[in-house]
Structure 1
Amino acid sequence: MTYPNDPRAVVLVHDRDPALARRDIGTLDAELRTRDFQLDVHSFDHSPDTAPPQLSDAQLLVVMGSPDAAYDDTLSWLEPEIAYLQDAIDAQVPVLGVCFGGQLLARVLGGSVRKSEHPEYGFVEVETSDPELVAPGPWMEFHGDTFVAPAQATVIAHNAAAQQAFVLGPHLGLQFHPEIDLDTYDAWAAAWARDGVEHEVDVDRIRVAVADAEAAARARCSTLLDAFLARSSALPR
């Protein structure tokens, strides 16, 4: 893959606490940096008065997870983020959407997002028709909503609960969290404690699973990122 010197990745994060939002990038932070990307991190929700990064010289846009819903138009920051994502798509900047980010990408491209009848929490296997891009897993899930990919997209991974990954042009939308590591999970837990969020699943058990699988999850994230960057850079822009 060929990029200019000092390629730049814009990363959109979501949490009203900037420190917790930054930790949500997880292993993608180091993985992008080891590939010589400069990270330009922005949040439409915790920094609404800060201008977002310019897209004109960005090689990549990554949209991370969020505790909020991609269909909740009462969120004051969601409309500006949607407009920014549309600008990136119009500028042919490849987009990697992670969980909420994948849902928002699906919505902006013409798909839909709704509350899931089968929420997923913990590591799950997925079926894939493109194992070089998205391996069977297991992948970390933590979502109560789900996307339906746009009609013109290709769904490349799914399971009985939901569509798990789609591609459209240079863009990749994921329902799962390839970036998971223990620090990321602990950042989620800190936000749950702050906001008084209770789950019907054993979050402590999932934390143990994250700790046990951390090295393997990091390797899967690295492989997925390489495949995504190779694919997106090979497509005409």
Structure 2
Amino acid sequence: MAVPGNRGSDLSGTPRIGLLQQHAAEGPGRLASWARRRGFQLEIHRAEALFAAGPLALQAQGWQALILLGGPWMLDRAPAWLRAEQQSLRAWLQADLPCLGICLGAQLMASALGAPIRALPEPEQGWTQVELADGQSLAALQWHEEGFAAPPPGCHSLGRSAAWPCQGFARGRHQRALQFHPEWDGHSLRALHRGFGADCPLPRGAAGQRQRRVAGWFYPWLDDWRSTWP
């Protein structure tokens, strides 16, 4: 599946971004909107299908950057396809290629880079205040029971919350991980409620002002990430 930017991007120079979707209910949200606005080609793959036969050389896909979304799995009980994804991711990170991980995607990055993943004392669910390393404070949506308590070796923290000491990290400038979900918009929340039913602890209301604040932070943040790519 692709969100089209400029077809024939290999010739035009339009960036091709690989996006690994872990769960059917957790789609790209604002990431798709950002790609459309910027004219990028976002190539969306269900990770379970992509890694069904084992690890892949992701570098061979020709992507300029890689994005990994969230999902409900615990890494210590990961299915075979998710372990194959992490093995493939490790080679991508070692090649120092641009990468963005969100929630489970961030945990995959953290674990691949040597940070332990731990259970939280209490799950973080719904709107949570995140204190960003640049001094900003952002109300962001969360839904996770595990996380990395500190950045991996050689990385620096991107923020914290009252309940958990590390809400993201960066390795250099173009490998970034966020434990919270700035990509979730109103359409994302409806999809999550459809997909997870009564198990979904997220709000149903639009929370327009908070959503606008998240969008106002996330799109420039993505543009800054894009500016770091080789």
Coarse TM-score class (shorter-chain normalised): 0.7 to 0.9
TM-score by length of 2: 0.83
Unaligned runs of 5+ in 1: none
Matches within 5 A, 1:176-195: 176-193=180-197
Measured after TM superposition, the shift of residue 120 of structure 1 is: 1.1
Shift of residue 41 of structure 1?
A: 1.4
Q: Superposed, which structure 2 residues align to 1:114-129 within 5 Å?
A: 114-129=118-133
CA contact (8 A) 2:113 2:153 kept: no
2:28 maps to 1:31: no
Deviation by residue 1:182-236 (Cα, 9 ceiling, x = unmatched): 111111112212xxx536x5x4xx1215455333332222122112222x33xxx
Give the whole-Å Cα distance in 2 for the aligned partners of 1:41 and 1:51.
Answer: 17
Among 162, 167, 171, the alignment partner of 1:164 is: 167
Give the distance between the partners of 1:92 and 1:33, measured in 2 at CA.
26
Q: Determine if contact 1:31/1:222 at 8 Å carries over to the other structure.
A: yes
* Alignment root-mean-square deviation, CA: 2.5
Q: Among 220, 223, 226, which residue is 1:223 paired with?
A: 220
TM-score by length of 1: 0.81
Post-superposition Cα deviations, 1:147-177, rounded to whole Å, max 9, x if no partner, equal 1321321112012212111111221110100
1:1-237 paired onto structure 2 within 5 Å: 5-15=13-23, 17=24, 20-21=25-26, 24-47=27-50, 48-49=52-53, 54-56=58-60, 57-73=62-78, 75-131=79-135, 135-148=136-149, 149-162=151-164, 163-169=166-172, 170-193=174-197, 198=199, 201=201, 203=202, 206-210=203-207, 213-230=210-227, 232-233=228-229
Number of equivalent positions: 215
Indicate how the Cα distance of structure 1 residues 164 and 129 shifts in structure 2: closer, same or farther if over 3 A, else same: same
Taking structure 1 as reference, are residues 115 and 87 closer, same or farther at Cα in structure 2, changes over 3 Å only?
same
**Unmatched runs of 5 consecutive residues or more in structure 2:** 1-9
In 2, the alpha carbon distance for the partners of 1:183 and 1:76 equals: 30
